[in-house]
Structure 1
């Protein structure tokens, strides 16, 4: 893991910590980065679904033929 030094807005960090329920700067920044990455992945997944990402598994609901016994 790389060590990075940066300036962070204290008020913004405190607000993010409150929202995320974190208690340290490191935990807050990590949780915020994870939230951004996960939000993007959810958006990509939603786009995939919108473009037909899943096959139609309904089998044509209501068109099933009874078993010939």
Structure 2
């Protein structure tokens, strides 16, 4: 038994159908696009963490006042 009650053979058949429908080139492009999107998201999140501490303090102060 595999993941969630799906056997390995069923997963291989699903993979073969997906490859036949979309082709390896399109799947490769989809994977690289998804990877670049995740990379961009992570970099923007890390930039947000490195934001100006004074700006963060002012924002927190405004939030407390409301």
TM-score with structure 1 setting the length: 0.47
Q: Relative contact order (alpha carbons < 8 A, sep ≥ 6): 1 or 2 greater?
A: 1
